[in-house]
């Protein structure tokens, strides 16, 4: 009977966890898609990279979803069994709570292993790929979306204007103005080029924009001076420094490899290491805490424990975030890490779960006397 009941409970928990994880993933995909699509609409990234960036973002944020999915899955799965009195009947037949913890563990442990794989292996790889793709988009932004009849800054200190553009990217009626180094007298110098056609590309190294001008003239000199030099050319190649591609905000740490994190004493990297460990531990802590949390009293609805589960996850996630900030600022010892967060959540949850029994015992004591 215990084996049959164990499989029945594990199947119920696994089904509920899968459904909740699917819903959370769908919500995350919709949010990330709208966020990345807004970046594409602003011209920050090419439209063709939106699906790839959404998938990479999903892989990096999957570790945050798993603890919440396990917590709600166990609470909802056991809540349904409590509501239909299946657990009550099993316990009347001699089945103890150990079977419930074992069934929950059959789901929680594999999910914890998946969370560890995401946190330590796949997540950093996906973060590196996402950063590389965004940097490539920033690096090539100056040559993307050029429209005829408008002046566009390309490179550093250079402006481009053209009248028409072919499907292969060839420009016609080209005008280029760029700044030159000052002369011996300290006067600013500039170069103005006109050409019948031109082609441009970002070089392989990504540090320069190469513009090939065909059939045009070059004018070099200082504004207001009379010593301008005018030359006619059949072909001229300009190499303009590309803008530095840098993502906004502080440097990211989620893309750093595990070996570098383990070998570093820098508080920022120590915080990232314990942050990865913390979400894996959160799967185990919240998954097993959900077993006593899911217990329902008679006449309680099957979803009566859901608000408490959501509150427990919010407290745990908030403490993890605060603990990481303390580690990054060096205000918490590295040896302590984020283990105090899990211990505090365990004590808090067990205290809240044991409070009704303590109140009942205190209420019965005078009556017995």
Q: Which string of DSSP letters, residue by residue, matches 127-185?
A: HHHHHHHHHHHHHTGGGSS--TTS-EE-SSSEEEE-SEE-TTS-EEEEEEEEEE---TT
pLDDT at residue 227, as a whole number: 82
pLDDT at residue 186, as a whole number: 80
Q: Give CA–CA dist 299/90, Å, rounded.
A: 18
Sequence-separated (6 or more) residues with CB below 8 Å from residue 262:
273
Q: What is the pLDDT of residues 90-104, one digit of tens each?
A: 888 878 888 999 999
The residue-averaged pLDDT of 185-210 equals 80
- pLDDT for residue 338 is more than 80: yes
Q: What is the pLDDT of residues 133-190, one digit of tens each?
A: 877 766 665 555 567 887 877 766 788 888 988 877 788 999 988 888 888 778 888 9
pLDDT bucket at 357, cuts 50 / 70 / 90: low
**For residue 49, what is the DSSP state?**
G
Greatest CA separation found in the chain?
Answer: 113
- pLDDT for residue 230 is more than 80: yes
Q: What is the pLDDT of residues 9-20, one digit of tens each?
A: 999 999 999 999
The residue-averaged pLDDT of 207-229 equals 85
- pLDDT for residue 287 is more than 70: yes
Higher per-residue confidence, 2 vs 347: 347
pLDDT bucket at 4, cuts 50 / 70 / 90: confident
The residue-averaged pLDDT of 213-225 equals 90
C-alpha pair distances (Å), 343 with each of 37, 246, 287, 338: 40, 39, 14, 9
pLDDT bucket at 369, cuts 50 / 70 / 90: very low
- pLDDT for residue 124 is more than 60: yes
> Rounded mean pLDDT of the chain?
84
Q: Nearest-CA neighbor of 192 among 226, 161, 234?
A: 161
Using an 8 Å Cβ cutoff, are 198 and 211 in contact? Answer: yes
């Amino acid at each position: 009977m215990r084996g049959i009941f164990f499989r029945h409970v594990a199947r119920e928990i696994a089904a509920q966890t899968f459904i909740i994880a699917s819903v959370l993933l769908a919500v995350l995909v919709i949010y990330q898609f709208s966020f990345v699509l807004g970046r594409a609409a602003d011209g920050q990234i090419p439209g063709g990279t939106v699906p790839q960036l959404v998938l990479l973002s999903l892989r990096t944020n999957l570790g945050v979803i798993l603890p919440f999915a396990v917590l709600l899955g166990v609470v909802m799965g056991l809540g349904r069994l409590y509501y239909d009195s299946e657990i009550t009947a099993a316990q009347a037949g001699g089945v103890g709570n150990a079977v419930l913890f074992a069934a929950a563990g059959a789901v929680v442990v594999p999910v914890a292993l998946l969370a560890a794989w995401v946190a330590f292996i796949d997540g950093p790889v996906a973060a590196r790929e996402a950063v590389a793709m965004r940097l490539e988009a920033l690096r090539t932004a100056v040559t993307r979306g050029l429209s005829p009849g408008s002046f566009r800054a390309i490179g550093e200190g250079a402006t481009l204007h053209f009248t028409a553009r072919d499907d292969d990217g060839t420009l016609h009626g080209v005008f280029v103005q760029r700044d030159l180094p000052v002369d011996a007298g300290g006067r600013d110098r500039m170069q103005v080029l006109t050409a019948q056609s031109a082609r441009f590309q970002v070089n392989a190294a990504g540090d320069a924009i190469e513009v090939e001008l065909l059939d045009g003239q070059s004018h070099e000199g200082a504004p207001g001076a009379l010593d301008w030099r005018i030359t006619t050319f059949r072909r001229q190649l300009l190499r303009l420094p590309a803008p530095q591609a840098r993502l906004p905000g502080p440097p990211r740490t989620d893309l750093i490899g595990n070996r570098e994190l383990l070998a570093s004493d820098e508080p920022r990297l120590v915080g990232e290491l314990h942050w990865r460990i913390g979400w894996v531990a959160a799967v185990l802590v919240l998954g097993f805490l959900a077993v006593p949390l899911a217990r329902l009293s008679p006449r309680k609805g099957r979803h009566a424990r859901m608000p408490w589960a959501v509150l427990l996850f919010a407290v745990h996630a908030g403490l993890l975030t605060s603990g990481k900030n303390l580690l990054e600022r060096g205000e918490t010892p590295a040896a302590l890490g984020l283990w105090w967060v899990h211990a505090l959540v365990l004590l808090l949850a067990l205290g809240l779960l044991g409070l009704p029994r303590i109140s009942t015992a205190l209420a019965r004591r005078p009556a017995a006397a």
